[in-house]
Structure 1
Amino acid sequence: MKEEKDNRKSRISRRDFMGAAAAVAAFTIVPRHVLGGPRRQAPSEKLNIAGIGVGGQGGGDIGNVSSENIVALCDVDEKRAGGTFNRYPAARKYRDFRKMLDKEEKNIDAVVVATPDHNHAPAVIRAMNMGKHVYVEKPMAHTIFEAREMTRVARQMKVVTQMGQQGHAGEGLRLTYEFIHDGAIGTVREAHIWSDRPIWPQGIGRPKETQSVPETLDWDLWLGPAPWRPYNRAYAPFNWRGWWDFGCGAMGDMAVHNADPAFFCLDLKAPIAAEAETSPVNNETFPKWQIITYYFPARRGRAPVKLIWYDGGKKPSRPPEMGEDRKLDSNGILFVGDKGKILCGGWSGAPRIIPETKMKAYKRPPKTLKRSIGHHKEWVKACKDNNPKGALAGFEYSGPFTESLLVGNLAVRLGRRVVWDARKMKATNAPEADRYINKSYRKGWEL
């Protein structure tokens, strides 16, 4: 989303920002878990929700759960979050999510997290350890270890979780599953996935100049667990995805959406290897373009699968079955079976068998999968029902999915094929990968 424009009438002053809690202290909505007891249905029909990172995408996520009580909001940039702050004037405002969670622990049922990737795990794990349900934007985690740990804590605490892969609730994903399991294109052994990302700079070095930190931004809190560095507009508020310390690159941004049909429909688990072809790689930013190949073993009588990811302007060759007058869209996935091909749009879009003559002749199978009530709605309902399985992009699914995708980033950063042992969480041929599988955290931000 575009950065909120500065407006004197809507801008929250620093005094108002830091003291809003006192101004609304007299108005408190009792959370469901207090009214109904732990893990029991409460008389109240609404959840009490807090938001962490509520400018940009986070503001949209809060809007999608605004049927509930929005009781607390946290953002390190009061200008960028100003629109969301103004839409929920009764919500108590914070800058530091650690302070918010500590102070609001007894007042909230669930937390929505939409910070940059490097802050996901510290915020999410802290909330889950308090017994709070969590929605977190994609990618779920910054490292493989974080994804594994977030899944473990969610399971241990029996909370409802959801990663922001909106297409997982869509009709396109279900139709693709039903087509493939109907044998529409035979046995699938290969899938090609691509995106028009990055739409931010990559393949660049660290800025040499130091810029003044905007008055409305707390730069130290924005950095959170990441190593300290001087502020520069090259990082925030938008371009952070391209930096190793903060984001997961184009693949982390869009494979969560566009590769979801492959993982879901082909029942993929962990890859056994990954390799990458890229433009030059440095220790600051992701490369300008990359092609990552993942290798998945045979499982439960199903064939092994090779999955190829493309970004930075790279795409697979246009399949001849498309016809000369058609081109591949900017985002999508192509399933290659031994009896045909299926082409889907980005964000788990609707499937089409190609060529179009086969699609027209195809007798569609029955709808065997349950349809979703909506990505955010199913999370809200699951929270109210205390049913972790009710949120279909919960960490039991999205955790292993995220881990698998991030194995590709190991191959990119090391510049070599990675042989992966998911059980041990090790690149067995590359011990130097350990420092990227897990990472160190600044004091006060540990998991």
Structure 2
Amino acid sequence: MHETTTISRRQFVGAVGASTALFTIVPRHVLGGPAYMAPSDMLNIAGIGVGGMGERNLMSIKTPDAMLEQWKKEEAEAEQTAADLTPEQQERRERRRRWRQPKELANVYAICDVDLDYAKKTIEHYPKAKVYQDFRKMLDELKEIDAVVIATPDHTHAVIAMHAMKMGKHVFCQKPLTRTIYEARVLAKTAKETGVVTQMGNQGHATEGARLIKEWLMAGAIGDVREVAVWTNRPIWPQGDIPRPAEEVAIPETLDWDLWLGPAPKKSYHPDVCHFNWRGWRDYGTGALGDMGAHLIDHPFWALDLGQPVTVQASSTAYSDDAYPLATVVTYEFAARGSMLPVTLTWSDGGITPPRPSVMEAGRRLGTGGSGVLYYGDKGILMHGDYGNGPRLIPESAMEAYEKPEPTIPRSPGIHEEWIEAIKNGGQSSTDFSYSGPLTETMLLGNVAVFMKDKNTTLAWDAENMRITNVEQANNLLHYEYREGWTL
């Protein structure tokens, strides 16, 4: 008679994260029937950086109990007014409804934020969660944590994700994946080596629109694509030719400023560089391109299988040594891929938009929400808004005449759902670090080009060796020296 040994789901998931080469996750239905989900199947998630997007990420994984009744009330009220909405308003309402729909994908086991006042709302949402300020202390003490959700400022993404992956924790990291190209390369390599399940938080990749865009382009809806225009109305935070604030301001008692700085240079605290506004400061953020590129460049990058660019050139408005410019135009050149032609992709931000296609109807706006993407093919034009929303052939008569292909790409249950499912049942999430790493490198290469003083400089990019081959000093912008005490 064979002896049997029972192990917990947590022990099993931990073993997989540390030794993927030796184990394969067994689907739940194999262990306990088609609908089986034992309590032990609920993963323990730790949120690191839980103000702003971090709060939203956690709410997309586990709806706070106190919000359930409010959600039910709003649903009832919305149902009564639905008939009075325009189709566009109904689409926005449905997107918001899907975003707010109650979730219970995992336990919010711990919360970590360097500013306990900024995190106060999220801490109140999850009263049972253990609270920390230092992610290292939290991960060292709470062995029960299976996975982390990182939504800190860009400059700390890499050090936190690396620390977690080395401990065998699965990682969901907000976009952009990192602040530097080198960090993105190292995170992708480490994710592969450790075998943990990773995901970048560019939620537009999980949408129906993202799949329609790729399916239509693959089916030849507009023929061979040679040119793509991408634009956004960002920045909506301070940046430009401005200095870092110099006046001395007392550090709030609830904020561990040294931890907030992490690997960045030691500089004094000022509220204008902290919380949200960090996006425009070069020490901490990645500007408009890093902030929205993951939501906009993502779609052509995936749909056209672009890979990394071979050259990049940029121009911009004035900028300081501390901040990103108010507006930029970045031109990427991508090589041919198999039977697909070379592609020129032009990014613009700060209110700069591409010319309106001559075939576009008068009064029709470009994209949605101040952002969008145009694909120019030899047989037509495709346009969509931010996050892949509302893809349409233009003019509208072309859309009406188009016979849509049958769906060929698996649909996603959501960016958080597919990450959790991949942890539990194996498989690969759609924007894991093997995908989001190269996407992030591509975006950040545009920022490197922006900071070339000579706006006529075209940078030649050797992606395989992670080097700019024709302007040596540009390689200094691929990474920076971490502050003492911080490493990857």
TM-score, structure 2 as length reference: 0.83
1:382 aligns to 2:382 (yes or no): no
| C-alpha distance in 2 between matches for 1:32 and 1:122 | 28
**Which of 223, 226, 230 is the equivalent residue of 1:189?**
226
Q: Which residue of 2 aligns with 1:33?
A: 10
CA deviation map 1:1-53 (0-9, x unaligned):
xxxxxxxxxxxxxxxxxxxxxxxxxxxxx983326672255851200111100
Q: Which residue of 2 aligns with 1:234?
A: 272
Structure 1 counterpart SS, 2:392: strand
CA deviation map 1:95-127 (0-9, x unaligned):
1111111112x2111000000000000000100
1:300 aligns to 2:277 (yes or no): no
1:361 aligns to 2:401 (yes or no): yes
Q: Which residue of 1 aligns with 2:76?
A: none
| C-alpha distance in 1 between matches for 2:464 and 2:328 | 27
1:176 aligns to 2:213 (yes or no): yes
Check whether the contact 2:13–2:424 (CA below 8 A) recurs between aligned residues.
Answer: no
| C-alpha distance in 1 between matches for 2:14 and 2:403 | 51
Q: Which residue of 2 aligns with 1:198?
A: 235
1:120 aligns to 2:157 (yes or no): yes
> Letter of the aligned partner of 1:368 in structure 2?
T
Structure 2 counterpart SS, 1:300: coil
**Which of 277, 282, 304 is the equivalent residue of 1:244?**
282
Following superposition of structure 1 onto structure 2, how do residues 347-358 of structure 1 map, counting pairs within 5 Å? 347-358=387-398
Q: Which residue of 2 aligns with 1:311?
A: 349
CA deviation map 1:246-270 (0-9, x unaligned):
0000010001001111001100101
In structure 2, runs of 5+ residues without a counterpart are 1-6, 17-24, 29-37, 63-103
| C-alpha distance in 1 between matches for 2:307 and 2:127 | 44
| C-alpha distance in 1 between matches for 2:13 and 2:458 | 53
Check whether the contact 1:31–1:107 (CA below 8 A) recurs between aligned residues.
Answer: no
Taking structure 1 as reference, are residues 420 and 218 closer, same or farther at Cα in structure 2, changes over 3 Å only?
same
> Letter of the aligned partner of 1:290 in structure 2?
T
Following superposition of structure 1 onto structure 2, how do residues 212-361 of structure 1 map, counting pairs within 5 Å? 212-328=250-366, 329=368, 330-361=370-401
Check whether the contact 2:116–2:255 (CA below 8 A) recurs between aligned residues.
Answer: yes
CA apart distance, 1:282? 2.4
| C-alpha distance in 2 between matches for 1:57 and 1:32 | 29
**Which of 26, 38, 44 is the equivalent residue of 1:48?**
44
Q: Which residue of 2 aligns with 1:22?
A: none
Structure 2 counterpart SS, 1:107: coil
The number of equivalent residue pairs is 415
> Letter of the aligned partner of 1:49 in structure 2?
I
TM-score, structure 1 as length reference: 0.90
Check whether the contact 1:74–1:95 (CA below 8 A) recurs between aligned residues.
Answer: yes
> Letter of the aligned partner of 1:38 in structure 2?
A
Structure 2 counterpart SS, 1:343: strand
Taking structure 1 as reference, are residues 324 and 435 closer, same or farther at Cα in structure 2, changes over 3 Å only?
same
| C-alpha distance in 1 between matches for 2:458 and 2:252 | 42
Structure 2 counterpart SS, 1:264: helix
Structure 1 counterpart SS, 2:15: coil
Q: Which residue of 2 aligns with 1:143?
A: 180
1:76 aligns to 2:138 (yes or no): no
Check whether the contact 2:14–2:146 (CA below 8 A) recurs between aligned residues.
Answer: no
Taking structure 1 as reference, are residues 310 and 36 closer, same or farther at Cα in structure 2, changes over 3 Å only?
closer
CA apart distance, 1:301? 2.0
| C-alpha distance in 1 between matches for 2:274 and 2:219 | 47
Q: Which residue of 2 aligns with 1:9?
A: none
Structure 1 counterpart SS, 2:424: helix
CA RMSD in angstroms, aligned pairs only: 1.4
| C-alpha distance in 2 between matches for 1:322 and 1:118 | 41
Q: Which residue of 2 aligns with 1:412?
A: 450
| C-alpha distance in 2 between matches for 1:223 and 1:158 | 29
**Which of 453, 471, 476 is the equivalent residue of 1:430?**
471
CA apart distance, 1:398? 0.7
| C-alpha distance in 2 between matches for 1:234 and 1:84 | 22
Q: Which residue of 1 aligns with 2:246?
A: 208
- Percent identity reads 48
Q: Which residue of 1 aligns with 2:486?
A: 445
Check whether the contact 2:13–2:423 (CA below 8 A) recurs between aligned residues.
Answer: no
Check whether the contact 2:206–2:414 (CA below 8 A) recurs between aligned residues.
Answer: yes
| C-alpha distance in 2 between matches for 1:201 and 1:51 | 27
Q: Which residue of 1 aligns with 2:34?
A: none
